Structure 1
Amino acid sequence: MKIERGSGNVFLDIGFSPEDAEPAAALRLDVENRAVREAQRHDPNQAARALGVTQPRLNALLKGKIDQFSLDSLVNMLGRVGMRVEMKVKKAA
């Protein structure tokens, strides 16, 4: 089995076109927005704890450095604040 390093976008890595990979970008923005709201409601340490990340990781997220986060970590952060991610795969037209 050959192991390759991913691009950071699981949708592109499994063969989706850049247009079809857009849901990942939307998810990243959603996590970033929710992190900002969580940080505004709590002090930074509480917000980081709620999202399950360290304070420096929360700061990176709040600064828009979203490319530093895997899709898995973003989904996990959403789960920690009561959100569920659903993904649909459809046959190409």
Structure 2
Amino acid sequence: MNKSKTERHASVWDALADTAEEAANLKVRAELMRKIASLIQDSGWTQAAAAEHCGISQPRINDLLRGRISRFSLDALVNIAASLGQQVRIALEVA
């Protein structure tokens, strides 16, 4: 009988990341990407129009809307949110 060891993680980010710090960064970037994508979709913009509003290229908007998290730094996402007139707030919580 072959028993395999199954790892359990607190979140998908913990499973994907090598460190707790990297997992925390992925989680924040994913949340910010979801909120930006929601703003874009709620506005009814085409990808080209969204790119113009965000000050980035249409392919970058496509990456954002498809959730390609590895292509966006936290800094880039904060800048995109600001270009949409949004303020990013940070709250610290005990992990």
User: So what's the TM-score if we normalise by structure 2?
Assistant: 0.59
| Equivalent in the alignment of 1:56 | 59
Number of residue pairs matched by the alignment: 76
Structure of higher CA gyration radius: 2
Question: Cα distance 1:87–1:29, how it changes in 2: closer, same or farther (>3 A)?
Answer: closer
Shift of 1:24: 5.6
The residue identity in structure 1 corresponding to 2:32 is: D
Compute the displacement of 1:48 (Å): 1.0
Residue 15 (structure 2) aligns with: none
Partner of 2:24: 22
Query: Kindly tell me: are residues 65 and 30 of structure 1, through their superposed partners in 2, closer, same or farther at Cα, counting changes over 3 Å?
Result: same
> In the TM superposition, what is the alpha-carbon distance from 1:26 to its structure 2 partner?
2.9
Distance between the aligned counterparts of 2:60 and 2:69, measured in 1?
10
Q: How does 1:58-73 map onto structure 2 within 5 Å?
A: 58-73=61-76
1:20/1:52 Cα in 2 relative to 1: closer, same or farther (>3 Å)? same
Tell me which residue corresponds to 1:42. 45
**Which amino acid in structure 2 is aligned with residue 26 of structure 1?**
V
- Contact kept, 8 Å, 2:53 with 2:83, in 1: the verdict is yes
Residue aligning to 2:84: 81
Unaligned runs of 5+ in 2: 1-18
| TM-score (norm: length of structure 1) | 0.60
- Point out the structure with the larger helix share: 2
Q: Deviations over 1:36-93 (max 9, x none)?
A: 4314511111111111210111111111101111111000011111111233568x8x
Gaps in structure 1 of 5+ consecutive residues: 1-16
